[in-house]
Structure 1
Amino acid sequence: MNCLESWPEPVVRVQHLFDSGIQVIPDRYVKKPLERPGSVEPAPSEDNIPAIDMKDLYSEDASLRRRTALLIDSACREWGFFQVVNHGISHELMARTHEVWYQFFHLPLEEKQKYANLPSTYEGYGSRLGVEKGMSLDWSDYFFLHYLPVGLRDQNKWPSLPVSCRELVGEYSREVVKLGGKLMKVFSTNLGLREGYLQDAFGGDDEIGACLRTNYYPKCPQPDLTLGLSPHSDPGVMTLLFPDENVPGLQVRHDGKWVTVQPLPNAFIVNLADQLQIMSNGNYKSVEHRVIVNAKKERVSLAYFYNPRGDIVIKPAEPLVSEEHPALYPAMTFNEYRLYIRTKGLHGKSQVESLVNSDSLCRLN
């Protein structure tokens, strides 16, 4: 872990680069030709990830509850991404939290630098992933903080400015974690498991991991050459993203093409992550996604990562393993798993795919 104690070279803030007036981005941010935004044919503009209205999940009518659960199951199996509306979180709270983070990223640099992070936890103000010296960088800054488990939560590490930030982040976090718990129950029953199986397997209500990364994507003078986030699948269980509704930027790889997600008003974008793929024994799959940047508009998005407790051993759920459907993945703690990303940065789905038992590849594909 010594390699994670410090960054291998000075960290440059992307926002500072843009504010300096550059017209040509540094070579560190220029992607290889096949990795640039236009290197893969885009999907038709009318394509979008499924949108699901959650209100019927709370209906007294069992058939309506089941219908909504089946829509979620279909989205999980076909896309690995979906949007939810009528999710129960106050639209006002969402808007105020988004605004307070926008204000944070427009504070003076010296104020934000008080929270400069290290690769050991990523907690704080950051501008890169991975500690390899000379690695390719993405056109984005971020702020990362822990909410759960409570033992990792330190509100003194959260921004003190704007003055409402800590209070809003706490309230917003409580509500998003509740939403995550509701979805975990739906995932469990859809997979044929008892309702609380996944939540318990990943640490239970008190020990589940929950952390927020607020992403800031400054304007970019050459958006065709770089990315806000390189292609990757998320390492945890799932991510609940509150995007910038006015500036689409998230792209999802579907059927070999990049689909630019068109956010619905006041919706959360839900995507499945690697540990859910492992626990479901490949029935649900995490999906590669990336973020493009914009020459005329900046973006702020709030990504809530719902993760296993770090020291819990994750493996395929026993009820989903049989002679006909053997375990696809070896047992591994989440701490062991995410060390790869903390060292190497984002590299598609190479981490989870490297774990697949070669004898079972035909089933996964």
Structure 2
Amino acid sequence: MDCLQAWPEPVVRVQSLSESGAHTIPARYIKPPNDRPSPTTMSDSNVRIPVVDLSADPEHAVQAVASACREWGFFQVVNHGVDPALMRRARDVWRGFFHEPMEVKQPYANSPKTYEGYGSRLGIKKGALLDWGDYYYLHVRPASLRSQKKWPALPSSLRPTTDEYTQELVKLCRQLMQVLSTGLGIKEGRLHEAFGGEEDGACLRVNFYPKCPQPDLTLGLSPHSDPGGMTVLLVDDHVKGLQVRKADAWVTVQPVPNSFIINIADQIEVLSNGVYKSVEHRVMVSSTAERLSMAFFYNPRSDIPLAPIAELITSERPALYQTMTYDDYRLYIRKNGPKGKTQVESLKTVQN
């Protein structure tokens, strides 16, 4: 872990670049031509990720979620039980943090050792191309990692609001895990059990994408699949930015008010033996509007072996992935930053 003690070069806050008034972006943020957002790579705007009503008939909800996880790896949930007023407060306090003076934010600067705190890059490769965004990463579970002293003290309501919000999302994730298990044809508590039961993990990454003078040259977040178990994303309803890969096209997500965007991450792909898919996604930026998103990552306990669940292994569908721990797995993204689906693909026992 020695290589993860410090960033390889001084960290530049993207928000500072945005507010400098410059009309061009530094070369380190310019993506290769094939990786830039372009109208020619976007799919038909009428194609949308599924929307699931969690208050609907339970059997219908299970079928809808299972279908979305097999075909898309993404879906939106409405009527999910989390108070919309709490969702708005959570967004407001974190937007308030990013608009605090730099002398308030900088003491929370993070390192690549744990990523907890105020950050502006992923990966430790010197001279790497960077994404147009800042973030704040904090631990929620397990209790041994959770320390509100590492959460921002300003705005003054941030800590209690974030605490209430994340507790509600733990409940929602555990409910969704039951739905996901039932959709796989296994007992409803099986995925939660594979995550370590009450020793499951969770963290929150608040992403801030400032205005960009050349949004056609860069990305807020490069294509990647999430390394953990499941992600619950809260986005600004009025600013689109998230794109999901579907076949060879990028689908721009149309946010539904008061919804959460759910996506399957790599560990559930592994545990489901590839039945549920983690899917690449990326974030576009805008020249006219800033964007904030709150990604809640629900993860397995970090030190237990993870492999396809035994009930999902048959002679016709043998185990498709090697065993590993989440500790080993997430070290990859900390070293390399977002790199598509290269990590989960490397675990496959048979390469296509």
Q: List structure 1 runs of 4+ shifted beyond 2 angstroms.
A: none
Query: 1:301-357 CA deviation, whole Å, 9 max, x = no partner?
Result: 100001111101110000111222111111000010111100011111111111112
CA deviation profile, 1:186-221 (whole Å, cap 9, x unmatched): 11111111111111111112x111100000000000
1:323 aligns with 2:315: yes
- In the alignment, the residues of structure 2 paired with residue 40 and residue 284 of structure 1 have an alpha-carbon distance, to the nearest angstrom, of 29
Matched, 1:245 2:227: no
Q: In structure 2, what is the Cα distance between the partners aligned to 1:283 and 1:18?
A: 42
After TM superposition, the structure 1 = structure 2 runs for residues 136-215 of structure 1, keeping only pairs within 5 Å, are: 136-205=129-198, 207-215=199-207
- Partner residue of 1:35? 35
Of 287-296 and 314-323, more deviation after overlay is shown by 314-323
Q: How does 1:223-234 map to 2 (within 5 A)?
A: 223-234=215-226
Superposition CA RMSD, Å:
0.9
- Deviation track 1:41-94 (CA, whole Å, cap 9, x = no partner) reads 2111111110011112xxxxxxx2111110111111111000000000000000
Q: Which aligned pairs between 1:55-66 and structure 2 lie closer than 5 A?
A: 55-56=55-56, 64-66=57-59
Length-normalised TM-score, structure 1: 0.95
Structure 1: segments with no counterpart, 5+ residues:
57-63
Amino acid corresponding to residue 190 of structure 2 in structure 1: Y
1:25 Cα deviation from its structure 2 partner: 0.4
SS in 2 for 1:239: strand
Alignment of 1:332 onto 2:324: yes
The one of 345, 350, 356 equivalent to 2:342 is 350
d(CA) in 2 for partners of 1:87, 1:129: 31
What is the SS of the residue equivalent to 2:215? coil
Aligned position for 1:88: 81
CA deviation vs aligned residue, 1:209-247 (integer Å, no higher than 9, x gap)? 110000000000000000000000000111000011110
Tell me, yes or no, if the aligned pair for 1:240 and 1:303 is still in contact at 8 Å.
Answer: yes
Q: What is the identity, as a one-letter code, of the residue corresponding to 1:51?
A: V
Native 8 Å contact 1:52 1:84 kept in 2: yes
Query: Which residue of the partner structure matches residue 5 of structure 1?
Result: 5
Q: Post-superposition shift, 1:358?
A: 2.1
Q: What whole-Å deviation, never above 9, does each CA across 1:107-148 have from its counterpart, x for those lacking one?
A: 001110010001011000000000111111000000000010
Per the alignment, residue 261 of structure 2 pairs with 269
Q: Which residue of 1 aligns with 2:285?
A: 293
Quote the residue 1:20 is aligned against: 20
Q: Which amino acid aligns with 2:60?
A: R
**What's the TM-score, normalizing by structure 2?**
0.99
| Residue 61 (structure 1) aligns with | none
Task: Give how far 1:23 is off.
Answer: 0.9
Tell me which residue corresponds to 1:313. Answer: 305
Q: Tell me by how many angstroms 1:40 deviates.
A: 5.2
Distance in 2, matches of 1:228 and 1:139, equals 4
Note the C-alpha offset of 1:39: 7.6
Q: Distance in 2 between matches of 1:99 and 1:39?
A: 32
Match of 1:123 in 2: 116
| C-alpha separation in 1, matches of 2:39 and 2:117 | 33
> Separation in 2 of the partners of 1:244 and 1:258?
20
How many pairs are equivalent? 352
Within 5 A, what are the aligned runs for 1:43-122? 43-56=43-56, 64-122=57-115
Q: Could you tell me how far apart the structure 2 residues matched to 1:49 and 1:322 are? A: 31
Structure 2 counterpart of 1:341, from 330, 333, 346:
333
